[in-house]
A and B are shown apart, each in its own frame.
Chain A
Amino acid sequence: MRVQIIQLAYLIATALFVFALHWMNDPKTARRGVISGVVAMLMAVVGTLVEPGIVNWGWIALALVLGFAVGVPLSRVPLTAVPQRTALSHAFGGLAAGLVGTAEYYLSLQQNVENLTPFRMTAIIAEIILGYLTFTGSLMAAGKLQEIKWIPQRPVTYPLQNVSNLSLLGIAVVCGVALIVQPVALAFLFPVIIVLALAFGILLVIPIGGADMPTVISLLNSYAGLSAVAMGFVLDNKLLVTAGALDGSSGLILSIIMCRAMNRSFTNVLFGAFGQVQAKAVSAEGKTAKSETPEGAAQMMEQSSLVVIVPGYGMAVAQAQHRVRELYDQLSKRGVDVRFAIHPVAGRMPGHMNVLLAEAEIPYDKLVEMDDINHDMPQADVALVIGANDVVNPAARHDRGSPIFGMPIINADKARICYAIKRTMNPGFAGIENELYYAPQTFMLFGDAKAVVGNLVKSLSAQGNTH
């Protein structure tokens, strides 16, 4: 009877998880999704705790308390650090899967070998390879995002990188197959696979640069989910399989969206080492950019009816979000329609820019997706580019020689006037010259994003007082 009740609890938890994701389709219902997720999780945990045979209460309590102690501070990080936190939690997810797989294998090896059927061995091998590679890969990604000193930020490449990485994974898979056939006689291969998976995770992420982080995080999200699925197969637990599959498919969809937004394939992101190709990108030949003062730009914006702000990660780096909100307030007060154009890969993880702007209390109905805002761009009087670069480069539309050719962009150049805030004319991290800055309707606002937007706000409020 108790078993049936536990299974029923699992069943309801599964349904609640699906609802949790369903409610995320609208910001109005999204918080309900969290509650539903929490209820589901509680049911699953309590359901498991009442399972017969559990004795090590001390260990369980200790792990739960420590998990709480670490989890609460991790949920309070500044929103610019959310990508790191997310990568870190993928690492934890991978670690949990890897450890449970390891424990299950050695337990069966010791206590009942018949348990190691080919099916179950396949699941265990998949679980540990996915789990451990997600663990180290995500730790690397988190380190790169946190800009830890001894982890190189730039893509690290060396000769035969892809060949050696793939052969490493190949060896791990071959060892895995051997172990599936001979789970007892070849037991020494098990730690070998663990080491190979750990090493592969590190080597997979080392060649990937900052701009590709949104894709990599999504992909690791998918792996973390799939390792939970594999755990579900090992433990024959359908709740685990379902929840893991939801996570895995979510990661998959996000990766696809990210790849499309950069017009690149998975293989290109993982094995392409973005930083390299661009060394030979063109430089500006004798073109000059015009500059404008904040006062002039403020005047122009004040007289506009539609201003589109295009934020990029540079805005977050300069901590300019709150100044941008003040600018939004000043302009809206004067009846100017202000909208934000959000490129899918702006920021360091999917949706990052929306969260940063929402934190600055900008209403979410003003945050517009790329495809929708491009429709309105020709009607915009002013496009204000803050800390974005490649995502507004018109070369992506027409210059076949450009490394970003084919990438969908926000058409800031279609607005009547474009202002771009930038520190200097140096090309950005990717090293690509941006045509937009030399277009006849573009004016540069040189300086730190926070200071420049602050000056815009100041001249707007000064003008407001004289009227």
Chain B
Amino acid sequence: MRMLILTSGLAAWIAVAPAVASAQVPAATAESGTDFIQTLFVFMLATFIGLGVVSRVSRLLHTPLMSLTNAISAIAVVGSIVITGLDHPPYITILGAIALFASMTNIVSGFLITDRMLKMFRTRKGGKS
């Protein structure tokens, strides 16, 4: 039931988002200051969501939680790809490539080790995790 509400809420959001986004484009290019404020809104709301969701995570799983959030924050890979990939002076490309390597390592090892640990959590009757 809760899942249903969440999904429908998400669907509504997806429907609204493009409209909101297109409305914002001209304003954003005109004034970079408002852009930052919008990002601050996103940051604040995401922090509240993070605090809410994480505080409900089972204490059993705090170690896998940390490796999972590690992998998730390796989303820095997106920034690293842009820096590495665009046509920039070589030293910038190399800085980007090192950052990309570091993020990729975190993604691969983070997700793999999280899954490896979660597989170990079983109940008595050999039930799956």
Contact = CB atoms under 8 A, between A and B. Distances in A.
A99 B68 CA distance: 23
Interface in B85-112: 85-89, 91-112
Contact of A54 (B10, B75, B81, B92): B81
A27 B61 contact: yes
B84 A63 contact: yes
B68 A350 contact: no
A352 interface: yes
A44 B77 contact: yes
Interface residues of A, number: 121
Given A48-B82, A232-B39, A56 B53 contact: no
Q: Looking at A48, A59, A63, A342, which has the most chain B CB atoms within 10 Å of its CB?
A: A63
B20 to A, nearest CB: 11
A113 to B, nearest CB: 14
Label chain B's interface by main secondary structure.
helix
A199 to B, nearest CB: 20
Closest 4 pairs between A and B when the two form their complex, measured CB to CB = A67-B104, A71-B108, A351-B62, A249-B50
A149 B56 CA distance: 39
A285 interface: no
A362 to B, nearest CB: 9
Nearest to A123: B36
Contacts of A99: 80, 95-96, 98-99, 102
Interface residues of B, number: 89
A351 B51 contact: no
A351 B61 contact: yes
A75 B32 CA distance: 41
A86 B102 contact: no
A273 to B, nearest CB: 25
Interface of B: 10, 14, 17-18, 21, 32-33, 35-36, 39, 42-43, 46-47, 49-51, 53-89, 91-124, 129
Interface of A: 4, 7-8, 11-13, 15, 17-18, 20-22, 24-28, 30-31, 33-34, 37-38, 40-41, 44-45, 48-49, 51, 53-57, 59-60, 62-64, 66-68, 70-72, 74-77, 79, 82, 85-86, 89-90, 92-93, 95-97, 99-100, 102-104, 106-107, 110, 117, 119-120, 123, 217-218, 221, 224-225, 228-229, 231-254, 257, 342, 344, 349-352, 354-355, 358-359, 361, 363-365, 367, 369
Given A235-B79, A351-B61, A359-B120, A72 B108 contact: yes
Contact of B109 (A54, A71, A238): A71
20 contacts: A21-B54, A27-B121, A34-B115, A37-B71, A44-B77, A44-B78, A67-B105, A70-B101, A74-B105, A75-B109, A76-B116, A96-B74, A110-B89, A120-B32, A233-B43, A249-B46, A249-B50, A250-B50, A252-B51, A254-B66
A400 B79 CA distance: 52
A24 B61 contact: yes
Contacts of B106: 71, 89, 92-93, 96
B63 A240 contact: no
Contacts of A12: 14
Nearest to B40: A233
B73 A93 contact: yes
Contacts of A100: 76, 79-80, 83, 95-96, 99
B111 A37 contact: yes
Tell me the interface secondary structure of chain A in the complex: helix
A224 B70 contact: yes
Contacts of A71: 104-110, 112
A243 B75 contact: yes
Given A20-B72, A228-B73, A351 B65 contact: yes
B105 to A, nearest CB: 4
Contacts of B121: 27, 30, 354, 358, 364
Given A56-B93, A351-B63, A355-B117, A246 B72 contact: yes
Contacts of A54: 81-82, 85-86
A89 B67 contact: yes
B42 A238 contact: yes
Nearest to A40: B72
B63 A349 contact: yes
Nearest to B81: A48
Contacts of B104: 63-64, 66-68, 71
Given A100-B83, A241-B39, A253-B51, A89 B105 contact: yes
A59 B70 CA distance: 24
A107 B113 contact: no
Given A7-B21, A93-B102, A358 B122 contact: yes
A59 B84 contact: yes
B50 A246 contact: yes
